[in-house]
Amino acid sequence: MIDRYSLPDMAAIFTDEARMQRWVEVEVAVLEALAENGGASPDHALACRTNAPTVDAAFVHEVAEREKVTDHDVAAFVDVLQQKVGMPHGAWLHHGLTSTDVVDTAQCWALRDAADLLIEAQSDLIEALVELARAHKDTPMIGRTHGVHAEPTTFGAKVALWALQVDRDRQRMMEARANIAVCKLSGAVGTYSNISPEVEAHVADHLGLIPVPATQVIARDRHAEYLWACASTATTLESIAVELRHLQRTEVGEVREGFKVGQKGSSAMPHKRNPISAETITGLSRVVRSHLNVGLQDVALWHERDISHSSAERIVLPDASLATHYMLRRMVRLISGLEVDAQRMRENLDMLNGVVFSQSVLLKLVEAGSTRDDAYRIVQEAAAQAMTRSQSFRSVLEENPKLGLTSADFDEAFDVRRVLRHAARAVEALNYLD
């Protein structure tokens, strides 16, 4: 992921230095577990722990130079690590392991930490959405279906539904975290030919991971599930962003993204104030969803393993994590600084002179004895007249003496408070979020 969409705390998880530092820890922890279980000398384990290097840019460079000879990144890493630790102790590093024991365990460790950052960001977004929903629990606005005015709703209800969806994504991420926080040290084809399950369990406990049966690799449905949790989150964020973009359109004008001092909306047109955060989030969601497709294709590997997944994962796992994290943080900022124009919302609700209460009138006519189809045609014709002639929908109806509705009937049918009397249910559901 390019620096523009990489935040420091998530980016730190996926640096070459962080990756190889995890490899160092896995290697040393395995040797310590071997010593604990009688498979290696405690002196070797202690020396390797004491002399284990802190991975820096110079270490990464040495591995890259060594890889030019080995044409194998983990073999190059082991060569450099053994040299740094020194002989004879260093010769016991990587004892009984295959490369993927180290790589997969370290990668799952990294994805677990990435999931923690994503869950934290999701929680912050939920908090911001809950605050906004409660602030506008009773703010009426027009609901739109197919982009056309439908019936009144509240802005609070709209935002509350977003919060509930982000919470479902948080639950998905928690489940993905649980399924990716695993470890395997079972060797070349997963049979523990040279490392015992007890050693694997010891290392897993040390790293805070769960040991699982595997072939040479940890099953990739786990990684695909993690990418699905990212893609689902990204899609939810896009759905919020698209709605906010529509509501900020000049013709609608019901919300506006925050605009800081000195900010410019256009290099050419000084009046412009564009929904740039929402548009950025919309675009990045397309990237994250594309990574899910790669993750799903990585599940089907040959026999006990091949490396067709490896090259793809070096791109999609970090990039999906970074982009999703950036999108979440950008959306928190957007929601926290969102400007809501309640007056414009009410003006838009009243724009069509009351025809948005057509269903209420329809039901009143049915209750007064009309057939549903007859009532529908009467209301439909009256609504068309009101919109075409810019007349009050209620007055058009009241001019028809055959309707048989009282003034009280009309008052009730056109009462926005009655229509919205249960709209707060979505906001109240937020009380049950953790």
Active site residues: 146, 266
Please, which contacts does 381-385 make with residues 24 or more away whose CB atoms are closer than 8 Å?
Answer: 383/355, 383/358
The encoded tokens of residue 230 equal 């990212």
Q: How far is Cα 138 from Cα 152, in angstroms, rounded to an integer? A: 11
Q: CA 16, 17, 21 angle in degrees (round to 5)? A: 115
The encoded tokens of residue 388 equal 């075409």
Of 304, 288, 318, nearest to 110 by C-alpha is 318
SS (H, E, C) the chain: CCHHHCCHHHHHHHCHHHHHHHHHHHHHHHHHHHHHCCCCCHHHHHHHHHHCCCCCHHHHHHHHHHHHHHCCHHHHHHHHHHHHHCCCHHHHCCCCCCHHHHHHHHHHHHHHHHHHHHHHHHHHHHHHHHHHHHHCCCCEEEEEECCEEEEEEEHHHHHHHHHHHHHHHHHHHHHHHHHHCEECCCCCCCCCCCCCHHHHHHHHHHHCCEECCCCCCCCCHHHHHHHHHHHHHHHHHHHHHHHHHHHHCCCCCCEECCCCCCCCCCCCCCCCCCCHHHHHHHHHHHHHHHHHHHHHHCCCCCCCCCCHHHHHHHHHHHHHHHHHHHHHHHHHHHHHCCEECHHHHHHHHCCCCCHHHHHHHHHHHHHCCCCHHHHHHHHHHHHHHHHHHCCCHHHHHHCCHHHCCCHHHHHHHCCHHHHCCCCCHHHHHHHHCC
The encoded tokens of residue 340 equal 């809501």
Torsion of CA 166, 172, 175, 179, to 10 degrees: -130
Q: How far is Cα 257 from Cα 337, in angstroms, rounded to an integer? A: 7
